[in-house]
Structure 1
Amino acid sequence: MTQQRPFNFSAGPAALPEAVLQRVAEDMLSWRGCGMGVMEMSHRGKEFKLIADQAQRDLRQLLAVPEHFHILFMQGGALAHNAIVPMNLAQRGGSGKVDVVVSGSWSAKSAAEARKYADVQVVAQGADAQGRYTEIPSPSSWQLRRDTAYVHVCSNETIDGLEMHELPDLAALGCHAPLVVDFSSHVASRRIDWSRIGLAFGGAQKNIGPAGLTLVIVREDLLGHASATCPSALNYEAVAKAESMFNTPPTFGIYVAGLVFEWLLAQQYRGLSGLAAVEQRNIDKAALLYEALDASPLFESRVAVAARSRMNIPFFLKAQRASDALYETFLTGAQERGLLQLKGHKSAGGLRASLYNAMPIEGVQALVRYLKEFELQYG
């Protein structure tokens, strides 16, 4: 790859594949010569139906989504679906109960939002005495209720940099409720075991496309349980019946996501193709940066090795050297080298590199070179 643009490590909205951006530019004024750009099309017209249908087919193929799951293209982002999910599922079975595993900042938000609509129990709390999230509680320690309507997990915590590398098998834990997964920040970065999932949702703006599109993939038997007060446009059953056209969907977001799905399916890496290639490249990218951090005299990762995210890697100056001034010096130097958006989340501080699918391995190599250069000067 020839470096033409800076490497964007933003946690979201995040970098898109350059090849996809070029396609978008080519289609901007007239999609396939039809005389309209995608943003100008009717969502019920034949042109957009072609786009939406192909995007759904490609996503189903990419993630190997079984036929008894519905793929919904919605809006609101993952934060809104922390309310929309309990509106749709909390009354399933009549219990009104929701169990939440709090493994980081986002699942903590999920628990707080769901409390407005359900009887929420935090069945595992991952924060340490300092309020930091560095490990994911073992499923064997989760205090699950037998009559819970569903169990919620965030399988990748963007802010704290923790990832569930294997989804829990609730049945093996004696729980027969469906697992609901917020997979916003690592969807399409790895293969998924759908046998363990009832519903998965996520905002598109990290690995899939522009902000505004939200993916919901829901098992068929979980439709039809919405509360009486759930708005019709947020009722998963209504949206599924209307094939995501109950109201005007985020048409441009769906179009760009479709191009990303096509790009992902075409990926080749180390003799692998499609999602397997994408996953292996993500493994290699993360390993490259973690190896540099583990060997560093100046920087450190604070996440337990078994829980380290491949997508979002927070890192910090070691305590004896940490200062706001040195962080600013690092960020200024990174900007000068075309390494963008490395500042940590405001609630966590430090630094963070997000290595989403669109980040080439060359970008991680450039960051590692800068880390070593910085260590020589300030270590």
Structure 2
Amino acid sequence: MTLEHKKNIFVELGKFLSQFSKNESTRNENVLHNDLFFNEFLDLIKLSQSHNGWYTPEQVYFAVNSWAEALTKENLDQWLSKYNLENIEPKTVGLILAGNIPLVGFHDFLSVLISGHKVLVKTSSNDQHLLPFLAKYLITVEPKFSEYITFVEGKLENFDAVIATGSNNTARYFEYYFKDKPSIIRKNRNSVAVLNGKESKEDFLGLGEDIFRYFGLGCRNVSKIFVPKDYKFDTFFEGIFEFQDVIHYEKYANNYDYNKAVFLMSNFKLLDNGFLTIKEDSSYSSPISSVFYEFYDNLEDLKTRLENEKEQIQCIVSKGFLENSIPFGKTQNPELWDYADNVDTIAFLSSI
């Protein structure tokens, strides 16, 4: 299969995914194989929460829509234009995927296939249905993909390279176990926002999206805020008020009640609006339903710290006053060329 042919197959997948929305899913008769897949995918989205309690239909639809927007000819061309992928000797690349948010491993899956390699996938127990379904669609569009896509339930065997995602603890195991193979090993990362006190209510509405999308379970979710000394959080709380309905979701509410109780029993000082607690803390990783904050005196000193601690950070959000920062509300809409951990997956796959 040529690179152009593979691009076209993923464009067809993007067209298929573009039919589905939390407001209304509309069948487009020009989309390939809708007779086989449209109703089945609707049913899968409805059932996702029974497979993983955090995968509400709203969150799954958001992930599906994000990939529908990403999988266009223009995006694929722009993403791959700087690589030479025409003469890749196919290798087998093992993927050990996370399952914290819907389709979190799809970018690695796409990268392996688009670069000309075979993929050997071990899904997370928390996300065992969505990616195999999309793989089935791809194989129906292009049967040759059946030779390139394999899912396994046990341990990975007979592979040439590996991309593994896990916690800091499992990463140590991965680094030892895969020490003789070319690898990308991903660890825990968190995202931060840097405020300067000039943000509007609309900015905080976007920041609320960065905090609450996927209930805060993703590495691109903001879990830590840096604020100027003596900063008042009134406008922040006003801006995120639209997300108050998150507390009506039982799993989130249970985490909110538990973590708030733990903080209070430890005599920590909290700010609380009834569905989110914020706590002054130097850590980057806050529990679900909580965001940590820290004051800064000097922006240049903060920039230096963030650079020194970049191995712990996935994204930095600001109102454009930090270089390479992401605008409010955009952390969960990465481009195809926004690589996890800033590791160029296609360059890695071109080198094995």
TM-score, normalization by structure 2: 0.30
More helix by share: 2
